[in-house]
Amino acid sequence: MFSTVQTAFLSKLQEVVDFGSPVQTRQKTTKELLAQTIHIQQPSKRVILTPYRNNNVFATIAESIWVIAGRNDLGFLSRYLPRALEFSDDGLVWRGGYGPRLRKWYGLDQVSHAVKVLRSETPSRRAIMNIFDPLCDFQDGKDIPCNNWLHPLIRDGKLHLSVVARSNDILWGFSGINAFEWSLLQEMFAFWTSTQVGTLTFFIDSLHLYEQHYSRAQRTVSYTHLTLPTI
């Protein structure tokens, strides 16, 4: 259990650096931790301010709004996140973009439907939102969704959110966008259902760090260890 997104990030980054096992997939080497569960008690404290992380909060905000609005076009996103084009098959969209899958799943707005479910029966366990689509995602491509399933659940007046991910890069994925975007959506769900924000939980099959980021990660954990030993 972690208090904020930043404490979760720093702790898990340290674990990956120290204990991650080497794994090579798609010609890329990573350090990997399997079957990780991350509980965040105060997900609204979502901004990460950590030396050497080099995150751009404006790009994170832009991508989060882009996803929640149901978009996957790169004309907007690439202005804030130029490397987004590297993960596109056609240079125009992210085929596996979360936005259309959440807001236009074969004509269904999953977000609106989940809100209706929770409003009609507060304790319901049926407000599920799927992202992974076997019809599309068992094909080869640069953009296969890493986050696959969302489940908002209300208990004791609090809106909790669970996220299941097959794969999560701790720098570009978890700390770069996922914790921010899903905590923002969680806060919106709490507002729509007149509840308080509860815990945000990630279930991650492969939490990893790419070789190209090893030195940056080491600098981050070393600096944190020297200056913030209680985190």
What residues are labeled active site?
146
Q: How many helices (H) and strands (E) does the chain have?
A: 8, 7
Distance from C-alpha of 2 to C-alpha of 43, rounded to nearest angstrom: 9
Phi, psi (5° rounding) for residue 130? -100, 145
- The count of C-alpha atoms lying within 13 angstroms of the C-alpha of 80, restricted to the half-sphere facing its C-beta, is 18
b/e per residue 147-180 (b: at least 16 CB within 10 A): bbbbbbbbeeeebbbbbbbbbbbbbbbbbbbbbb
Of the candidates 177, 151, 145, the one whose C-alpha atom is nearest the C-alpha of residue 62 is 177
Distance from C-alpha of 91 to C-alpha of 73, rounded to nearest angstrom: 9
The pair of three-digit structure tokens given for residue 39, joined into one six-digit string = 């509980």
Residues with Cβ within 8 Å of residue 126, at least 6 apart in sequence: 117
Is residue 190 within 8 Å of 199, Cβ to Cβ?
A: no
Q: Tokens 């074969």, residue?
A: 106
